Chain A
């Protein structure tokens, strides 16, 4: 009688162990699947942001805040005016960049070769306009564009510049 009872208890224990093992196995499979799915989603997010950023290069270059009056180029005086805009107005643009996951917007003069950050005193003998920057990881794309300004001798004059736009890399948790 006592032996039978012990045997029955053993059978129940065995079944419980099997059930726990099955649940653990299911759990592991689900966990693996979730990890695989989240990696896929992150990759997709990365690709979408990359495509949007490349599209943004064109949109930013064509914004009336930066573009020339009658051709596909950047207006240097407008870039300076943008940098000197009151903070509360610039905040509106900063919000748009942030919501669009943009981390960097920069214009660099390539030809003629210059150095230093640009301002109203030293332009056009300077290199960089940083229109927006956040201190986060980003991946940048660029396009070459004419950078034009008023010159008292030649009228309108254009240099070659690079418009650089960086997008926020999706965080890996």
Chain B
């Protein structure tokens, strides 16, 4: 090999090796920065919907409806799903234009009622907790309000007043307008139970039905616990009247309604609730299974 050829080879060789080393360095740096950037995005989105991931339900039956603001940056898409078989609510969030979800979180101890959120500008919504009593305390639902609504036609005035109270306390912190003087049909086609009217108004049909199914499953399990408790108290001399048969009736009615959510089964479930309420209310105070 001539000296000139040798030098030419050395140059070409070093250029190729240099390019490979630079390519690898850039490749690893960009990969790493993507990995670092992903959790940062997750944190930005998660901090907005943090209230949904925290143990909001810890307050339990002692709390009445209470609200917390939610703030999301511009260009965020948040989707809410629910799985009745595996018993969870799911929150998925991504930036608009991205295919992959930056945040996917399954929450097993919550019942999240919401509609899909898409933010155009930085937006402030609110979520409120809603203790569900049918007639005993079953769970605390979390309802997200991310749009403006006309609420004059809500069928139950008690819930309307509670919501108005909550909204008044948070109105200046959020961009949402709830108008209690205009009306629109918000409950069309939904089989709502009394305690879940507000949840039905502010959520997609499939999310509402799925969460209702989860809540009914839990109510059935808790009713089973009350039945066992009533039997134990009876053994210790507490008169439990017809509470045990009322609980059996309640469990059957809830199972039927869960299997087929039609008006007839809803009415049977309501009458089972009333029967249980009366049976429990007729007991001596120390023998009552639950307080309403």
Contacts and interface: CB of A to CB of B under 8 A. Distances in A.
A58 B58 contact: yes
Contacts of A5: 1
Given A30-B28, A59-B57, A92-B217, A64 B139 contact: yes
Interface stretch (A105-113, A136-144, A150-158): A150-158
A106 B180 CA distance: 48
Interface residues of B, number: 48
Q: How big is chain A's contact interface, by range?
A: 35 or more
A92 B218 CA distance: 10
B137 interface: yes
Interface stretch (B115-123, B196-204, B233-241, B257-265): B233-241
B87 A67 contact: no
B232 A96 contact: no
A62 B139 CA distance: 10
Interface residues of A, dominant DSSP: helix
B6 to A, nearest CB: 5
A17 interface: no
A48 to B, nearest CB: 11
Interface stretch (A81-89, A126-134, A162-170): A81-89
A39 interface: no
A67 B61 contact: yes
Given A64-B138, A69-B289, A150-B287, A77 B232 contact: yes
Given A58-B55, A92-B217, A8 B286 contact: no
B32 to A, nearest CB: 9
Given A62-B60, A65-B221, A120-B232, A155 B286 contact: yes
A150 B233 contact: yes
A70 B60 CA distance: 11
Given A22-B21, A69-B291, A85-B225, A64 B137 contact: yes
A61 B227 CA distance: 20
Contacts of B225: 65, 78, 81-82, 85
B267 to A, nearest CB: 25
A56 interface: yes
A69 B229 CA distance: 12
Contact of B87 (A26, A77, A92): A92
Interface string B59-74: 1111000000000000
B87 A64 contact: no
A171 interface: no
Contact of B233 (A22, A77, A95): A77
B23 interface: no
B3 interface: yes
A19 B228 contact: no
Contact of B291 (A4, A15, A58, A70): A70
A62 B229 contact: no
A26 B27 CA distance: 13
Contacts of A58: 55, 58
Interface string A35-64: 000000000000000000001101100111
Given A64-B136, A85-B221, A69 B290 contact: yes
Given A26-B24, A64-B60, A151-B236, 6 more contacts: A11-B10, A59-B55, A64-B136, A81-B224, A92-B87, A150-B232
- Listed from nearest, the 5 A-B pairs whose CB atoms lie closest are A62-B60, A81-B228, A155-B286, A77-B229, A81-B225
16 contacts: A12-B13, A55-B54, A55-B55, A59-B55, A62-B60, A62-B61, A65-B225, A69-B291, A77-B229, A77-B233, A78-B229, A81-B224, A81-B225, A95-B86, A95-B108, A120-B232
Interface of B: 1, 3, 6, 10, 13-14, 17, 21, 24, 28, 54-55, 57-62, 86-88, 106, 108-109, 136-139, 217, 221-222, 224-229, 232-233, 236-238, 286-291
